[in-house]
Chains A and B, each alone.
Chain A
Amino acid sequence: MELFINRIFDGLSNGATYALIAMALVMIFKATTLINFAQGEFAMFGGFIAYVLATERGVPMWGAVILAMLLSALLAAGIERTLIRPFDPADHLPLVIITLGLFLAINAIAGIVWRFDPRAFPELFPSGNATSIGGANLSWYTIFTVLTVFVVAGGLTLLLNKTKIGLAFRAVSSNLESSELVGIKVGPTLQFGWAIAAAVGTLAVAVFVATPVRQIEPNVMITGLIFAVSAAALGGLDSLGGAIVGGLAIGLVQSIVVPYVGVPSELSLLAAVVVLMLVLLFKPSGLFGTPAVERV
């Protein structure tokens, strides 16, 4: 029982990261039905920026994270403007190729600049355990990571529903042409989506590695992206709430189901991929997504 509850807690904190990256993917998918395969690498890069600011420039930890979120948002906005916008948003192949190119390039740049040795990331949350349930310890880290997810989701929901840029973003997501016809500049609106996604991703990685158990290194998000993609697909690729449910569910599957059915830990990734495949086969719109209508 104790072990079981501990696994739930582990699953929640892992799932929180997947949920955050999944939300970043959703922000871009919602607008353009594009998957940014470089989203994990964007996030890793942002995490490193926070790391450098905090450990080498002496910026207070949370300030460093927020600054890194802003910087990575700017960076992503620049990338969107130069590498993404020149292409027709409806034609996915060149865009997918570009994001794969970004994946390789960003991973390599991080490897060149920071090398591949893992580094300890400063803690963002109080250490130690908050309480103990049934003998299992619930750490502050777990509580705060899950809380972060809900804060981010709340923030994004407010941003999308209560601001003018949010309204424009939802309009563009719904119907690109009609949005242009009411005077929305589609390019900058999509750019806003990329920026927000990058900021959320940066926060995700910062939170993920802000525990002594984990360290930051250029490959930190390589498999994380697969988990996040599965999470986003499970929840529905255009649903922020779905991303949370999907992320936490994938996290829990990874830490509970996998050991319980006697599958070795290496196969948690397989579990995520199987989930991804089943969802896409039987319910491509995910649990909470909008079903796509195919017109011929």
Chain B
Amino acid sequence: MSEQRTEVLDVSHLEGGYGPIQVLHGFDFHVAEGEVVVILGANGAGKTTTLRAVSGMIQRTGTIKLRGEDISKATPPEIVRKGVAHVPQGRGTLPELSVEDNLRVGAYIRHDDEVDDDMDQWFDVYPVLRERRNQRAGSLSGGEQQMLAVARALMSRPSLLLLDEPSLGLAPIIVQDLFDRFSHINKDTGTTMLIVEQNAQLALGIADRGYVLESGHIQIEGPADDLIHDDAIRKAYLGV
């Protein structure tokens, strides 16, 4: 069904890495409008690098098309302005800034007057953030920081949200709640999501489609429901 929708992200021959070390060895993937796509892979497979390549944080080659426009030469600030929000690994909140300022920074590229309304809306979603709006973000717990990071990313009203291992370092119960939230956001706002995860069970649970990345190549791809029943994946990532 996803084939009929417009492609938000269409990546081909993606290569990239850090200095002389090549991590991504040329692969293709795509994300359609309204989809939740997950990229699975072990440590060092190149998941984070893939997201960093999309948002322009590293040198990369190949074509990265965002709604048909090639962004493979664009800088991160330009890509953000084109509607891509990236929640980096380790959450990337601004620890010295207050919760409120973190959200305001999220809306940095916006010039409309609805920023306060959006902020209120996120405070409704995550009441704990409202309680702590004047506290330094660094004083929040890991789960709260992850919520803040997601809310901050969504403050830019992106059409594509990149999430880098949101489950990392969080308690299972919080992770479950977080992924439910992603699912809701996706359904309510229609935000397209590209999630990179190690927790295959959870991620595939909310995803439409998935890719499995190994050593910089895509090994398996398919609808989430198929992947969740794939023997190889079950062995490698689900521990069953």
Contact = CB atoms under 8 A, between A and B. Distances in A.
Query: When A and B assemble into the complex, do they touch directly, with CB atoms less than 8 Å apart?
Result: yes
A6 to B, nearest CB: 40
B96 A170 contact: yes
A168 interface: yes
B97 A170 contact: yes
A168 B108 contact: yes
Contacts of B153: 181-182
Contact of B105 (A167, A186, A290): A167
Interface stretch (A72-80, A171-179, A227-235, A275-283): A171-179
Interface residues of A, number: 19
Nearest to A168: B108
A33 to B, nearest CB: 13
B80 A183 contact: yes
Given A181-B55, A182-B156, A184-B77, A174 B108 contact: no
Interface in B186-227: none
A242 B99 CA distance: 23
Given A167-B101, A177-B57, A177-B88, A182 B108 contact: yes
Given A183-B80, A183-B81, A185-B77, A178 B108 contact: no
B47 interface: no
A171 B94 contact: yes
Nearest to A183: B80
Interface size class for chain B? 20 to 34
A180 interface: yes
B94 A175 contact: yes
A62 to B, nearest CB: 34
Q: Which of A173, A178, A179 has the most CB of B within 10 A?
A: A178
A183 B156 CA distance: 9
A57 interface: no
A164 B95 CA distance: 18
Given A170-B97, A174-B97, A175-B95, A180 B104 contact: no
B106 interface: yes
Contact of A170 (B77, B101, B152): B101
B76 interface: yes
B92 interface: yes
Interface of B: 55, 57, 75-77, 80-81, 85-86, 88, 92-97, 101, 104-106, 108-109, 152-153, 156
Q: Which 3 A-B pairs have the closest CB atoms?
A: A183-B80, A178-B92, A174-B94
Given A181-B57, A181-B86, A185-B77, 15 more contacts: A167-B104, A170-B96, A171-B94, A174-B97, A177-B92, A178-B93, A178-B94, A179-B94, A180-B76, A181-B55, A181-B88, A182-B106, A182-B153, A183-B77, A183-B156
24 contacts: A167-B104, A170-B97, A170-B101, A171-B101, A174-B95, A175-B94, A177-B88, A177-B92, A178-B88, A179-B94, A180-B57, A181-B55, A181-B57, A181-B85, A181-B86, A181-B88, A181-B153, A182-B85, A182-B108, A183-B80, A183-B81, A183-B108, A183-B109, A186-B77
